[in-house]
Amino acid sequence: MFERILTISGKPGLYRLLSSGRNMLIVEVVDETKKRMPIHNTDKVVMLDDIAIYTDTEEVPLRDVFAKMYEKENGVLPIDLKMATPEELVEYFEGIMPDYDRERVYLTHIKKMYAWYNILVANGVVDFVEEEQQVEE
């Protein structure tokens, strides 16, 4: 399920890929509205599976970061994104990813990750472990 979730530049929230057409994608908003819409090939679309977080040694897939967050909290984050100070947001992220690259991961990235994580958990998308890893275990 996670591999079909995407973000669209200039549009808030997350989207689930339903199908692809000739010059467009059909997506559904990942929230309670489940609104469907076409996304044309001129829009910048990025799959969440393609996003990674820089660390001091490697790039960690966003899926793994979300898995750590879910393991730690087992649900929605205890941070209110609108009320929390930048220092609180960074401090919480350091608890999850202590070796993240502080020069290349900005506060805006951290806020966006928190918002995406909360959207996914609120809508039941919590299968953050890749299928290959599930088979091995």
Query: What is the number of domains present in the chain?
Result: 2
Examine the domain organization and report whether 93 and 105 are in the same domain.
yes
DSSP string, the chain: -GGGEEEETTS-S-EEEEEE-SSEEEEEESSTT--EEEEETTS-EEEGGG-EEEBSSSEEEHHHHHHHHHHHHSSS-S--TTTS-HHHHHHHHHHH-TTB-TTTS-HHHHHHHHHHHHHHHHTT----S-HHHHHH-
Q: Could you read off the pLDDT tens digit of each residue along the chain, which spans 137 residues?
A: 677 899 999 898 999 999 988 889 999 999 888 899 999 988 999 999 999 999 999 999 999 999 999 988 888 888 888 899 999 999 999 999 999 999 999 999 999 999 999 998 888 887 877 654 444 54
- Residue 56 domain boundaries: 51-136
Examine the domain organization and report whether 67 and 116 are in the same domain.
yes
Residue 137 buriedness (CB in 10 A; 0-12 / 13-18 / 19+): exposed
Examine the domain organization and report whether 124 and 65 are in the same domain.
yes
Examine the domain organization and report whether 96 and 41 are in the same domain.
no
The enclosing domain of 30 has a CATH number of 2.30.30.730
The enclosing domain of 75 has a CATH number of 1.10.10.1650
Examine the domain organization and report whether 65 and 102 are in the same domain.
yes
Examine the domain organization and report whether 8 and 42 are in the same domain.
yes
From residue 44, alpha-carbon distances to 10, 90, 108, 127 in Å are 8, 28, 19, 25
What is the pTM assigned to this prediction? 0.86
Examine the domain organization and report whether 82 and 24 are in the same domain.
no
